[in-house]
Chains A and B, each alone.
Chain A
Amino acid sequence: MNVRRPYVRRMEPGWWWKNAFLLRYMIREMTSLLVAVYAFVLLAGVFALSRGDAAYRQWLDVMANPWSVAFHGLLLAVFLYHSWSWFEIMPKTLPQIRLGGRRLPAAAITWGGLAATVACCGILLGGTLWLTR
């Protein structure tokens, strides 16, 4: 038997609902659910691709359904929020970066990261256009 009986603080459900900071925290963490959903959408596509032309065509049909396109509009908003929040908290998740003896300002990390997102998305679009030209 464990002699230690650690104190476990009571948790009221919905504790994160009452405070704007905690609510933002929870929304940020919840974006991961939709990141997972999108990964499974892609996984279904890859699996269909491995099953052959007919199976893959079915996946393409589902993707072209207006409900699917609308859902991807929601996913797009969630992913944009993920990008924003990821780099917003990056100054706190990275070890301190010092340049010339001064701490790199948080805004530089956040905006640098967002600039990298714009660049990577541009490269991805350019690469896709080039490959499908």
Chain B
Amino acid sequence: MAHPVKRSNAPVFWLLFGAGGMLAALLGPMLVLITGIAAPLGWVLPPDALSYDNMLAFSRNIPGKLFIFAVVTLFVWHAAHRIYHTLHDLGIRRNRLSMGFCYGISLAATLLAGYALVIIGF
């Protein structure tokens, strides 16, 4: 009987890490500047840039929804993968517990983001 090929789950996590890192490298600085500094201080952007009505409309729009989902979840998966491996470098050896901790938080964040974006409506 042929043994089933035992496949590694590493490429999946590595892909999410790479996608999140790339998205953060390309858009991260401007996202932080807009959401955390310019909009709250009313710099450059109109004072109601991130208002409830604006953001509701943005997140009810399919591309807007996908954009928010991609940013939140890929940033989290990027960080989780990097932290998981950095913990190993700091002496917390890779095991099921540290893996469950890092990727578990990412999975929870992904589910929460998906849930929130679905109940926001379309």
Residues of A within 8 A of B (CB): 11, 13, 16, 26, 29-30, 32-33, 35-36, 38-43, 45-47, 49-50, 53, 56-57, 60, 63-64, 68-69, 71-73, 75-76, 79-80, 82-83, 86-87, 113, 116-117, 120-121, 124-125, 128-129, 131-133
Contact = CB atoms under 8 A, between A and B. Distances in A.
A112 to B, nearest CB: 12
Interface residues of B, number: 57
B40 A76 contact: no
A49 B52 CA distance: 7
B32 A72 contact: yes
Question: What 5 pairs between A and B have smallest CB-CB spacing?
Answer: A72-B36, A36-B79, A32-B82, A121-B30, A39-B75
Interface of B: 20-22, 24-37, 39-41, 44-46, 48-52, 54-56, 58-59, 68, 71-73, 75-76, 78-80, 82-83, 85-86, 89-91, 109, 112-113, 115-117, 119-120
A128 B45 contact: yes
Contacts of B119: 50
A56 B54 CA distance: 12
Q: Is the interface of A mostly helix, strand, loop or mixed?
A: helix
- Residue of B71, B79, B89, B120 most packed against chain A (CB within 10 A): B79
B113 to A, nearest CB: 6
